Structure 1
């Protein structure tokens, strides 16, 4: 009597495994879309900080330049005009004292009104404490100078020549010199303030350049690192999965379990793939063992066809067992088919996630465009500052031209004073020749000569002041040109930052291409999954045929126990089907 032993492998149900995978999926920390959004958020956060700091510093620089152009330069120019009008007042009062012509008093009064206006302007513009004190001193000295001038005019009207000449040599001269000294001190203070503000502005421009440069480099490096790691975390598992599915399609089930660290949709997909390969490996092994057992049973039934009814009953029992085994295999194939369907659903979910990734990347591209527009606005502001500096340079150049015109005018005054002195000398000679009759005329000629010398001396002082103004104006032109050069450098660095934004835009384009490649890989996985499903359907059909044949054999055995030929025929048919099943299963390597 022949005995048979069947080895039925236990496999967890698909429903139980599906619940386990779903629970694991709930533990995912970061999805692919969240990873992309997080990476781009870090990059654009850094660029937002850079843009904010740059805008703040540019506003500060712009205010400093406005302070220089609107306050410091006008104050220095006003002080220089102040000194010129004081000389005009002195010349007006001296001309009146010398000639008695009231037109000189009109010039004196006009210069006085302009000087009062300049003092009022300085009181409003000079915000520095030391400058305000000097302006108050200038105002007091001008009041003193005017009072002395009024006293000289009164003495002139009274024809007290000795008294007003003494005032001119003492009080008026001292007040004028002290006024000039105080005005020079004010000019020096304002020039020092102008120099300090220019240095602060240059330092601020350098700070902006360094911030934009370093931050742009850091953002580029960070963007490259984020793109590399995100791309690697997506492409590497997908490539491993594609390789595994390709081997499964070729019948190789011997590869080990894939191990990845992803806690996202891709990690869930790899887990499902490992489960599918494991189930296929168990199923193919079970089919192989069962087909071998079925083939052996067929041979034994053929050898036992001449035995007694007991042997026939045993064959019927074996056939029924084969039917049950084959039906079990058929049920397992149905479960495998459900598993493959679930894997296809997982691939579709990954495809949807890839589409979300592509949408997030396109949004990042839009944000990069906005960042580029912000940098362009910064470039435009730097150009506006450059234009303002150029205008200030033109104003200072115009001041230099006015100083040259004043120098020419002073030269004319000096020439007239020399001629007046020569005429006074000739008049003195003629008076000496006239003897006693010319003494009075000689005194007048001597006074005229003294006044001419004073006029020449005043003209020389004015010439010195004009030369000083021209020198200081040239220094101001040089300082403004240096500031203009620094603004040009800042403009160049800002344009470099704009180029860095364009490079980041290119890097994002590369990420979009890689996401497209991932979509193509997922489509390939879907095609391979369909092929596996077709293979499983083929095996399922063969199993159904086995069930049908086994059922026919069992029925024939029960109905015709005495007819061993039909039993032998059924056994041969069963053996043939088992060989076909072994041929199909042999394609798989476990």
Structure 2
């Protein structure tokens, strides 16, 4: 595909997409239509089965009712009588679909209508219909169809036990009408129907003989299930069958349809779809050619311009119109050509400058080489002078080092004195603060002593007041004593009636005496307290005098400490100034020593740099020679570049 053009690839891709999509659409449409037709065909088969089921029931069910009627009205004892024969004849004449009607009993007697002479030794009790009816007494039994002997017809016997249960009433039903109707059934054009009995033997089948035992997978499936659908091969043709069981008889009714009929019905749809696909394919081919040509033509124009640019023609341009992607690409390609034109023009100009610059560079390299040789000679002289300066700096460094050690010792001593002065100043300050604290405490003591003196004075006044109160209490006690005495006298006068009052008066007197005694004790205590308070007041006065003297001494000590503190402060300040001056000198010495060391280090560095410069100058001489050679080569390259640029047409 890499060697195929874009146009062809686009057409092939477009057609493949259209072909695949339309083919898928046609395939799906055809299969959907085929499925619908098949479902419709199966539906027709199901409807045919329902119709046949209804028809079978219409043939059999009335006869079931007839046999129930006969069995209800016949006794086994009537067998052989003319009356029963006449009734059977009348019944048979009224029902032309019946071949005959008959009754057999447990004694072996038998009667039928129309009257047909049976072979000698005929015993109804040995017949299948009799045995089956006796096994299912009270129920209607339907035998499997069989070929009648007296007439050319397929018949089925429907029988039931008589009313007394000692005989069996039966009728032979002609099924020719049923088989003829089934053979007439057509499902589609070639579809047909068939009926099998419970043993899988043919009752009616267009391709099988009556009474034959059918074989084949399809028949096995039909006999296994009551109803369903199946697909099978009949010869080389695929057939679809729908089957069900008749609940009245147990017969299997089936409808068969060839699948080819469904295919024939959907064939017009297939051809119509094929024509539509082909028309759409041709239309898509034309549309693809138009669309792809609109894509590939601008690409071809772009390719032609690119070929011209490759050959050096920068004057060609892509004709781009519109705003689609290809037009944008063409516009971008034109911009690229313009940019390339500008770049090449710039390169051409720069190549001329490069050639002239290369020549100047070669000349400059020659001059730089000569200057480098001169600088190398001067560098050698500077190196020798630097060695002499380094030796002088080493001697100066030793002297400065000794001076620095002496200054550091002085600075250390000054620092020690400064620390001692600071410590003395700190302790003096603490002493001053202690005196201030003592002075404050003395003032507080004086205040507290004053307050205590006032409290004692107030306490003395309260004691005097208490003394006065005690005197009043004593006076009251004396008066109470006198009153109690008078009361006792009056009680004695009263005689026997005043005894109780005399006892109370005596108690009052006793209490008055106790109150008087207690008052005397309180008075004595108050006198003692007042005396001790006087002593306390005197002691407080003495303490106040002592405190005042202590405060005076403290103030004098405080003044002394202030003088000492001032002196120590001045000494400390002077020592600190000396220490600071010494430290400045030490720092200056250190700085001088550091400068000396730096100078020495710088000289050593200069010596190394001079050596490096000397080596560098030698390398530079070699480099200048290389630059000269490179400049010549660069000039040649610039000429070649200019020749290449001149190839382009701008």
More helix by share: 1
TM range (shorter): under 0.3
Structure 1 length normalisation: TM-score? 0.25
TM-score by length of 2: 0.23
- Write 1 or 2 for the structure with the bigger share of strand: 2
Q: Select the structure with the greater relative contact order (CA < 8 A; seq sep ≥ 6).
A: 1
